[in-house]
């Protein structure tokens, strides 16, 4: 992809890792043009990017996913803290 083809807000994909995102900003560093992706916050050389073939998910869906993940982790932590009460001494050391 040429540096003139990239624009802020454009959906792109880094084919080496499959990372996809929207171009958040464009920077020129020592003569090379880089694009920062919103999905990772990392800079990618624009000549290594390709246009995304399909629309990307919206941030709202990511926030919902994060909220459900936090809820699940909190429930898991509660289950682990209460687990010691359900021990039936099955692993008791022999004598």
> pTM of the full predicted structure?
0.56
pLDDT at 8: 93
According to DSSP, the residues that pair with 28 across neighbouring strands are: 33
pLDDT in tens, 26-49: 999 999 999 999 999 999 999 999
pLDDT tier for residue 75 given thresholds of 50, 70 and 90: confident
Say if residues 78 and 69 touch (Cβ distance below 8 Å): no
CATH class (in words) of the domain with range 3-51: mainly beta
């Amino acid at each position: 992809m040429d540096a003139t083809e990239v624009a802020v807000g454009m959906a792109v994909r880094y084919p080496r890792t499959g990372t996809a995102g929207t171009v958040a900003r464009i920077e020129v560093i020592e003569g090379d043009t880089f694009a920062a992706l919103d999905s990772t916050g990392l800079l990618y050389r624009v000549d290594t990017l390709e246009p995304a073939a399909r629309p990307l998910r919206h941030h709202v869906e990511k926030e919902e996913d994060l909220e459900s993940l936090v809820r699940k982790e909190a429930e898991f932590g509660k289950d682990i803290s209460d687990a010691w009460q359900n021990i039936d001494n099955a692993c008791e050391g022999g004598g």
